[in-house]
Amino acid sequence: MSRLKGYWPLALGVAVIAAVILVAPSTGKEKVAAEDVEEGIEGQSATGWGDTVTACESGGLQVADDPYSPPCFAFSGDNGGETSKGVTADTITVTYRQTPEPNVLALLAQLMGIEFNETAEDFQRTVAGLIDYFNANFQMYGRQIDLQIYDGQGTITTELVGGGREAASTDGLKAAVEIGAFADVTGTSQPYAEALATNETIAFGPPYLSREWFGEHRPYAWSLASDCSVVGEAASAYGLARLIGKPAEFAEGDLKGKTRKMAVISPNNAEYQRCADAGLKVVEDAGQKIDYVTDYALDLGRIPNQATSIATEMVRQGITTISCFCDPFMLLNLTQQIDAAGIDPEWIVTGVGFIDLDLIGQGLAKSNDQWKRSFGASPLGVQPRWEDSPGYKAFKSVRPDETPSRAVDVFYYQLYQLALGIQMAGPDLTPETLETGLFSYPEHTGPAGTWDYFPESYTPIIDLREVRYDADATSAFNDLKGAYVGDGPRFRREDVTEILGEDIDIFPEDEQDDEEGGS
């Protein structure tokens, strides 16, 4: 499969701006070391506190019955007008980039052979409706979020595998310079997020990048998706507690019951290697080792051949248990190659690369039987039924006659970060006060996990849950067969052993008995 490409020149004015910046790059604001970050005071806004901003007389939450709601704030007086780029006395300009290809979920579904027919327009309308909700319910200090949708030149498909930087940079200039956005809510690729941050527009959404990357781009990058350093370290802690040195009881055939031989696979992208190193260090510090560690190039055209080579080596080494911190296409090819080899190892869900979405699990299980016995840990919460989800209810509260996307909760929680940052920043809204405000947000736990922000943590979810893929369960996401299940207690890296105990009981007893009987 070849990479998809897409680049067309923007208007002459933007091209001229780009040329100027290429000749004389902007140095931007001097970055502050992480130890010098202003943390603020828990439960208070970063600016105006005690003067123009106070706690509501009634106390309580800004939004009743919302487990992630900030404290209720009352505001009176002057909001300071133009406090930052994209901020006026009345509006906060936020961009939404529409790329020429279908949306990311539609692309992934197409790749995995799963039906998902929602359009880019469905996504745009859902985001616009949720913006209406946050404008109506959060403290914006006399301002409203003004969503500006524009047609970008880059393609997510290319950018997610590390390419497309020229087009992404052009789009970043469009959003940050021509439109003058305070923030962008579609910063869902590393190249585009970096282009936004370079031009001092906040990017919401960079997926699965390292803790160091977020620190290097602070305060201009935030994401709901946990940084991959946290995921890598937590996955290793999970492996130490649950897997390493123990029998491979969930493998089948000749591998079943053998002492586990572990493989860890990750892309050779510099950011993902940082995260792989962080996870491997946890294992090494515990005096253990992984039997086979390898990487691969994020190049869709080369992935099938790379998967063949990696699978061949794992079979040769007798690997029983595979942790693939991979993109869905690599994992699809790996499971096919292992299946063709006639062996049945354990597959570990690692919580990165969208692998722990039901949509992707369905695609993997549809291809062959390998993924139907997968298990592991995920930062995602239990998927509620669409009509019962927080995002659906929020959207319908402001647009009762419209129907949101099935992915409404994804957008809801991502936009929540922006609205939360605006409220916690206070009336003097800047990227720096938004950062301080989020660090002042008290820890909260809800259906999307435990959220907390602090220096070196620019992604809120700090815990995980143990999951398994159940091919017979109906997904609440799309009502199709196949879902990740697991409603046990959530855990943090430091308490994984205490919370989960020593024995894996994630599979129903009747399934374990069937396996032990050789079925």
| Cα 39–chain centre separation | 24
| Dist. CA 414–CA 130, nearest whole Å | 10
**Given its phi and psi angles, is residue 487 left (phi above 0), alpha (psi -120 to 50 degrees) or beta?**
alpha
Instruction: Measure the CA angle with vertex 387, ends 116 and 402; round to 5°.
Output: 75
Residue 73 phi, psi (nearest 5): -115, 140
Instruction: Note the pTM of the prediction, 2 decimals.
Output: 0.86
Q: Which two tokens stand for residue 465?
A: 């849950």
H helical segments located in 450-505: 496-500
Strand, coil or helix: what is 481? strand
Q: Residue 225, Cα to own-chain centre: how many angstroms?
A: 2
Burial of 245 (0-12, 13-18, 19+ CB in 10 A): exposed
- DSSP string covering 351-380, please? S-TTTTSHHHHHHHHHH-SGGGG-EEEESS
Identity of the residue numbered 4: L
Euclidean distance between CA atoms 440 and 38, whole angstroms: 9
Residues of the chain with pLDDT under 70: 1-36, 102-105, 107-108, 501-519
For the chain, how long is the longest CA-to-CA vector?
73
Give the pLDDT score at 172.
97
Q: Give the three-state DSSP class for 198.
A: helix
Sign for the CA dihedral angle at 464, 466, 471, 472 comes to: negative
CA pair distance 506, 484, nearest whole angstrom: 11
Proportion of the chain above pLDDT 70, given as a percent: 88
**Which spans in 402-453 are helix H?**
408-425, 431-439
